[in-house]
Amino acid sequence: MEHLPGFREFFPEPIPSGEAWSAAVREHLFERWHAVARRYGFQLYDGPPVEPLELYTAKSGAEIAGQLYHFTDKGGREVSLRPEMTPTVARMVAARERHYKKPLKWYSIPQLFRYERQQKGRLREHFQLNADIFGETNTAADAELIALLIDLLRAFGLSSEDFVIRLSSRNVWQDFYRRHGNSPDRAYDFFQVVDKLERNDPAQSDATLRELGLSLEAVRAFIAQGAPTVELQAVLDNLAARGLAEFVRVDYTVIRGLAYYTGIVYEAFDRHGKFRAIAGGGRYDELVTLVSGGRSNVPAAGFAIGDVVLTELLKERGKLPAIGERLDAYLMIEDESRRGESLSLLQRLRDAGMVVDFSLTPAKPDKQFKRAQEAGAAFTLALDAQLRVRVRHLATREEAILPHEGVETHLRSKLA
Amino acid sequence: MEHLPGFREFFPEPIPSGEAWSAAVREHLFERWHAVARRYGFQLYDGPPVEPLELYTAKSGAEIAGQLYHFTDKGGREVSLRPEMTPTVARMVAARERHYKKPLKWYSIPQLFRYERQQKGRLREHFQLNADIFGETNTAADAELIALLIDLLRAFGLSSEDFVIRLSSRNVWQDFYRRHGNSPDRAYDFFQVVDKLERNDPAQSDATLRELGLSLEAVRAFIAQGAPTVELQAVLDNLAARGLAEFVRVDYTVIRGLAYYTGIVYEAFDRHGKFRAIAGGGRYDELVTLVSGGRSNVPAAGFAIGDVVLTELLKERGKLPAIGERLDAYLMIEDESRRGESLSLLQRLRDAGMVVDFSLTPAKPDKQFKRAQEAGAAFTLALDAQLRVRVRHLATREEAILPHEGVETHLRSKLA
């Protein structure tokens, strides 16, 4: 029996297949993400992986509605596996924001889902780090988020030669459309054309733009001039003060597809142009109001970075560490009469926080030693007939004979 | 708009509501679970949260079928949110076991789901640590797993006064039923009666037992004698050699509900009898064969420990640490003309791995100081007019004036 199409299985390293992902690689990403987000003072939250369908259909716009992994539950409810985290966190903030000091700096690492009927071979799930700041309209919040995004990528050894943040703003395009467009109620259609400008057929883009009183030529000319607005310059200055200027550039081709964005938006791209966007985000000052039916009004901004493109990018750039089993020690049992005493030593070492494995059943010493090497053990240990511990450092082949009690201290000093 | 019934939202600490859970508490559990499982040489894996329905209906027995969170997906497939991890990992092992050295020691921390129509107010999701050993029939594997379970609970400060592992075996009841029952094909019905003996109406249990040629009296008498079999004695001896004897006792009331168990089974219980089982597991030597249609035959044993009962237990015993924001430093900006230099210092400290927060927008120094205290900052930092750093240790009120460059080293020595 197979797993469902589009879902990944995460095996331990080393993985015998060709996938880039494994549980160890995923954990490597998550651990660094947690560490960097915490360093920025962000706090962890999580929400339900299943949500009422209408949380997405009304809020995110046409871009997401056709891609939802939605179904009818046993109670007859129309529900969906979460396709994104933003509506969930907007609801959570609306419900409890009065109990927290603002601004809130919250992050999460949810698994997200989508289901497009047509596309075969596409993943139906991925993981994302989501980071958001609630309760701050100042562009300083956007800059703090972009700095975090940069450091989330730098944490894996990526530099400004590997990626760039393309910075833009819905406000800029809102103004442009207000000045030049002819159908005020079709602004979102216009944003969709800009969002897909690099992917769609130029003739088709031009046709839609002309319906709106615009033209592809005018839009391209506006993108080409690319001068930062006062709002964007404030973000650039803030990032420059942090020494992060080289990671950002203004690029008005970025506008983001989702309906709820209201201000500064940005996407992180591979400089070599080989991968889809690595991350994206922006300001969504009205979503909390919308989700709470007006009971709560909290401005917000945030971004998401997915595990799939980042893992592929890190693999391609050789930035994924060799991850395998790594034991502090492998406890060899060379004489079965000493298994009981060996188990006692095993427990003591594990109690002391050491990663120790051993052969559950009798095995020849050379087979146990081979297993220790395969498992990447730093040391082998074995009790001799006097119940002293023979410690062997595998890298240097150094050996020492120690009393039963002194082993933890000896190993810890060598491992540190 | 509300979240769906039975799903939890995990807020950051401090949580204004009465729930025991929060994202911080959950992370506290997960971090310790990861650390202890790794110490035992277990390796992380994960699988899809949605699986084909038949993965569960055929394998787990009546106990689970009525509780599944199942639905029809957009492609017309009968699928289910995973109610347990064992069938998934059995399939993964069957698919790839030839590429790994045995025994495999694998663990995972999945979110699991159930959906019973009748029961209101019951959670429809929870998290579980699952740990399994594949490829070893010897009871040494069961003992290693039980030792791990004990240490997963001891990691939170629980002692043998708080919990006990009740050890039993399907083999014992299989033998009993073979000797005394009258319908060889109804063994699973018999196991179900034993499993529910403590919860169900005794008259009803007795009636079913009499159908099978047995009686409640005979079953109770067998439980009361409770002598360990050779198989169970081996597990007890192994755990005693590790110094863990006080955490285990033979108790034949335990048999486990799921259909696939084949040998040693056990459950962890609160000694005060206040909570449902904290954890449970056992041997399931035929599941990999069953799931793979006979292509792979790997004996297996494992257990699961959930987050809900453990969190409630830890809260009741006062073993949940006070978890809140904990900053290494709060960077105060007392003069807005020094914001740019302050951002530069901020970035340097975060690059050095420190958890540092600051006010995104201009605020009065006393308000910034109050925020530093609320956020649990160890230090406040501020640039003076000469761009030297005034460092203040909040606990001792000690102050120091340092050059811009020396701050990381100073803080790190104080924080260590």
- Model confidence at B319: pLDDT above 90: yes
CB contact under 8 A, B74 and A141: no
**CB distance from A408 to chain B under 8 Å?**
no
Same domain for A300 and A334, yes or no, is no
pLDDT on residue A121: 75
pLDDT on residue B63: 65
pLDDT on residue A9: 95
**B40 within a domain of the structure (yes/no):** yes
- Model confidence at A118: pLDDT above 70: no
**CB distance from A7 to chain B under 8 Å?**
yes
Tokens of B141: 């594997």
pLDDT grade, residue B323 (50/70/90)? confident
Same domain for B289 and B377, yes or no, is no
The CATH number covering residue A181 comes to: 3.30.930.10
d(CA A399, nearest CA chain B) in Å:
23
CB contact under 8 A, A3 and B51: yes
Same domain for A356 and A230, yes or no, is no
Same domain for A294 and A359, yes or no, is no
pLDDT on residue A415: 83
CB contact under 8 A, A16 and B99: yes
- Tell me the pLDDT of chain A averaged across its residues: 93
**CB distance from A199 to chain B under 8 Å?**
no
Spatial separation of the C-alpha atoms in residues B110 and B305, rounded to whole Å: 11
Q: Which of A216-225, A255-264, B214-223, B387-396 has the lowest mean pLDDT?
A: A255-264
- Model confidence at A343: pLDDT above 80: yes
Residue finishing a domain among B316, B341, B356: B316
**CB distance from B141 to chain A under 8 Å?**
yes
Residue pair A402/A410 in contact by the 8 Å Cβ criterion: yes
Same domain for B405 and B268, yes or no, is no
A188 versus B280: which is more confidently predicted?
Answer: B280
pLDDT on residue A196: 92
Per the document, the length of chain A is 416
**B324 within a domain of the structure (yes/no):** no
Nearest to B115 by CA among B160, B90, B82: B82
Same domain for B124 and B44, yes or no, is yes
Task: For residues A19-43, give the mean pLDDT.
Answer: 94
Maximum Cα interatomic distance, chain A, rounded to a whole number of Å: 92
B274 versus A1: which is more confidently predicted?
Answer: B274
* Neighbouring C-alpha atoms within 13 Å toward the C-beta of B199: 9
- Model confidence at B287: pLDDT above 70: yes
* Chain B residue whose CA is closest to A155: B351
Cis peptide upstream of residue A14 (ω within 30 degrees of 0): yes
Spatial separation of the C-alpha atoms in residues A9 and A19, rounded to whole Å: 10
- Model confidence at A119: pLDDT above 80: no
Nearest to A264 by CA among A292, A212, A228: A228
Report DSSP letters for A39-98, one per residue: HTT-EE-B--SEEETHHHHTTS-HHHHTT-EEEE-TTS-EEEE-S-SHHHHHHHHHHHGG
Percentage of residues in chain A having pLDDT higher than 70: 98
Interface test mutation site (partner B, options A46, A74, A150, max chain B beta carbons within 10 A):
A46
Residue type, position B401, single letter: I
Rg (C-alpha) for chain A, rounded Å, is 27
The CATH number covering residue A372 comes to: 3.40.50.800
**CB distance from B336 to chain A under 8 Å?**
no
Interface test mutation site (partner A, options B111, B360, B370, max chain A beta carbons within 10 A):
B360
CB contact under 8 A, A371 and B75: no
**A253 within a domain of the structure (yes/no):** yes
Task: For residues B333-337, give the mean pLDDT.
Answer: 97
pLDDT on residue A19: 78
**B14 within a domain of the structure (yes/no):** no
Report chain A residues whose CB lies below 8 A from the CB of B137. Answer: none
A205 versus B16: which is more confidently predicted?
Answer: A205
Containing domain of residue A375, as a range? 329-415
- Is the complex ipTM more than 0.85? yes
CB contact under 8 A, A360 and B133: yes
- Tell whether the torsion through CA atoms of A45, A51, A55 and A60 is positive or negative: positive
Residue finishing a domain among A293, A316, A339: A316
Interface test mutation site (partner A, options B2, B9, B233, max chain A beta carbons within 10 A):
B9
B404-413 pLDDT tens trace? 888 988 888 8
CB contact under 8 A, B4 and A77: yes
Same domain for B111 and B253, yes or no, is yes
**CB distance from B90 to chain A under 8 Å?**
no
Same domain for A312 and A333, yes or no, is no
A63 versus B126: which is more confidently predicted?
Answer: B126
- Tell me the pLDDT of chain B averaged across its residues: 93
**CB distance from A401 to chain B under 8 Å?**
no
Spatial separation of the C-alpha atoms in residues A28 and B268, rounded to whole Å: 32
pLDDT grade, residue B82 (50/70/90)? very high
Cis peptide upstream of residue A103 (ω within 30 degrees of 0): yes
Residue pair A344/A351 in contact by the 8 Å Cβ criterion: no
Same domain for B94 and B240, yes or no, is yes
pLDDT on residue A66: 82
d(CA B196, nearest CA chain A) in Å:
26
| Segment 375-394 of chain A within 8 Å of chain B by CB | 375
B126-178 pLDDT tens trace? 999 999 999 999 999 999 999 999 999 999 999 999 999 999 999 999 999 99
**B322 within a domain of the structure (yes/no):** no
Report chain B residues whose CB lies below 8 A from the CB of A13. Answer: 43
Task: For residues A369-398, give the mean pLDDT.
Answer: 95
Residue pair A156/A319 in contact by the 8 Å Cβ criterion: yes
- Model confidence at B190: pLDDT above 80: yes
B357-379 pLDDT tens trace? 999 999 999 999 999 999 999 99
Residue type, position B132, single letter: D
**CB distance from A324 to chain B under 8 Å?**
no
**CB distance from A3 to chain B under 8 Å?**
yes
pLDDT on residue B148: 98
- Model confidence at A259: pLDDT above 80: yes
pLDDT on residue A13: 85
Residue pair A13/A324 in contact by the 8 Å Cβ criterion: yes
> CB-based burial of residue B189 (10 Å sphere; 0-12 exposed, 13-18 middle, 19+ buried)?
middle
d(CA A208, nearest CA chain B) in Å:
31
Interface test mutation site (partner B, options A132, A338, A343, A367, max chain B beta carbons within 10 A):
A343
Same domain for A253 and A392, yes or no, is no
CB contact under 8 A, A45 and B55: no
CB contact under 8 A, B39 and A361: no
Task: For residues B381-397, give the mean pLDDT.
Answer: 95
**Residue found by looking up tokens 């009465």 in the block:** B18
pLDDT on residue B322: 80
Interface test mutation site (partner A, options B50, B108, B248, max chain A beta carbons within 10 A):
B50
Residue finishing a domain among A316, A351, A372: A316
Residue type, position A178, single letter: R
Task: For residues A163-186, give the mean pLDDT.
Answer: 94
Same domain for B357 and B308, yes or no, is no
pLDDT on residue B62: 64
**CB distance from B356 to chain A under 8 Å?**
yes
**CB distance from B12 to chain A under 8 Å?**
yes
**B13 within a domain of the structure (yes/no):** no
Residue pair B349/B411 in contact by the 8 Å Cβ criterion: yes
- Model confidence at B74: pLDDT above 70: yes
CB contact under 8 A, A43 and B13: yes
Interface test mutation site (partner B, options A39, A361, A404, A408, max chain B beta carbons within 10 A):
A39
pLDDT on residue A40: 97
* Neighbouring C-alpha atoms within 13 Å toward the C-beta of A202: 5
Nearest to B287 by CA among B276, B298, B277: B298
Same domain for B276 and B300, yes or no, is yes
CB contact under 8 A, A140 and B1: no
Report chain B residues whose CB lies below 8 A from the CB of A107. Answer: none
CB contact under 8 A, B3 and A44: no
**A17 within a domain of the structure (yes/no):** no
Our count of domains for chain B comes to: 2
- Model confidence at B252: pLDDT above 80: yes
